[in-house]
Amino acid sequence: MKKLFVFAAFSILLLSCSSSVKPAKSVSIEPSEEIFNKLYNKDFSIVLDDMKIEEESNFMVYQHKYKVLTLENDSLQTKDTSWKTVNKSFFKTHENDLGMEILSKHNGKVSRVAQPVGFGWAIGNEKHGEWEAVQSDSTKTSNNTTHRRRWVTHSSSPFFWFWMLSRRNTYRNDYNGYRNSYSSGSAYYGRNSGRGSYDYGTRSNYQTKKRSSFFTRKTANRAKWNSLYKRTSRSSSRYSSGSSTRSRSGGFGK
């Protein structure tokens, strides 16, 4: 009986150690908030451009790269940031938001809800474009046609396609789905294909192709990514004090 008890206790200890990780390096202010403070008087969007997880001797380090998009005098300005350390909770919150706006301010409206780029301020804004009827004919017969409404930018504003980082069509029913999600404070990823794929964000086929290096890196570092779902080990907790670092963004461009 004593041997059985010792074996059970050892198994529990082993399981506990195997499911724990080093503490996460933390920052006192998220880099995206630092950018927000610097650009508060401008219209801008912060797009999550890349993510990675590194392991140091005492810490797990969670990092983001951003594209910072600003509009000045009808001129598009795009800057890429260097890698920025973020808090683990913030990283986990946005793990499905690759290629999406995670923080923006347009026309005096601040948003911290993840959304496809441009959905909150360009698409649906008659200043920048309009909805047009598009006829589709899946049967190739003139008697069986359907009409959908697609957003098109004004010819005077072609740069908005670059701002939105793609020329993918946006249809009215898709935009309505976004508005419903946003009104409830939920991120919008578009349709669920039923196989774990969505129209927008990390789980979209579009991002798999556009940012293939991210997915290659993530696959090669699967063990590090699993740290997102494991608790911090008690044996390493002594390192948590003093682990907080202020992000030194300096300028947000490269």
The residue with tokens 């401008």 is 42
* pLDDT above 60 for 173: yes
Interacting residues of 218 by C-beta distance below 8 A, sequence separation 6+: 51, 225
Q: Report pLDDT digits (tens) over 128-171.
A: 789 999 876 555 555 555 568 999 887 666 667 666 666 778 89
Q: Is residue 85 part of a domain?
A: yes
Q: How far apart are CA 181 and CA 96, in angstroms?
A: 16
- Domain around 100: 21-137+145-233
Q: Is residue 205 part of a domain?
A: yes
Q: Is residue 249 part of a domain?
A: no
* pLDDT above 80 for 217: yes
Q: Is residue 79 part of a domain?
A: yes
Is this structure's pTM higher than 0.85? no
The residue with tokens 């039923």 is 194
Confidence at 176, pLDDT banded by 50, 70, 90: very high
Q: Report pLDDT digits (tens) over 18-27.
A: 457 799 999 9
Alpha-carbon torsion, ordered 140, 142, 146, 152, to 10 deg: 80
Window from 62-71, 100-109, 166-175 with minimum mean pLDDT:
166-175
Written as six digits, the tokens of 246 are 């202020």
Q: Is residue 253 part of a domain?
A: no
CA neighbor of 100 nearest in space, from 181, 157, 186, 164: 164
How many domains are there within the chain? 1
Written as six digits, the tokens of 187 are 């991120």
Neighbours of 24 (CB within 10 A): 22
Q: How far apart are CA 81 and CA 30, in angstroms?
A: 13
CA atoms in the 13 A half-sphere facing the CB of 171:
12
Written as six digits, the tokens of 248 are 């030194």
Do 88 and 107 form a contact (C-beta atoms < 8 A)? no
Q: Is residue 97 part of a domain?
A: yes
Q: Report pLDDT digits (tens) over 178-216.
A: 999 999 999 999 998 878 899 999 999 999 999 999 999
* pLDDT above 50 for 232: yes
Average pLDDT over residues 60-68: 97
% of the chain residues with pLDDT over 90: 56
Average pLDDT over residues 58-85: 90
Average pLDDT over residues 114-132: 89
Q: Is residue 5 part of a domain?
A: no
* pLDDT above 50 for 50: yes
Q: Which residues pair with 20 in a beta bridge?
A: 231
Q: Is residue 245 part of a domain?
A: no
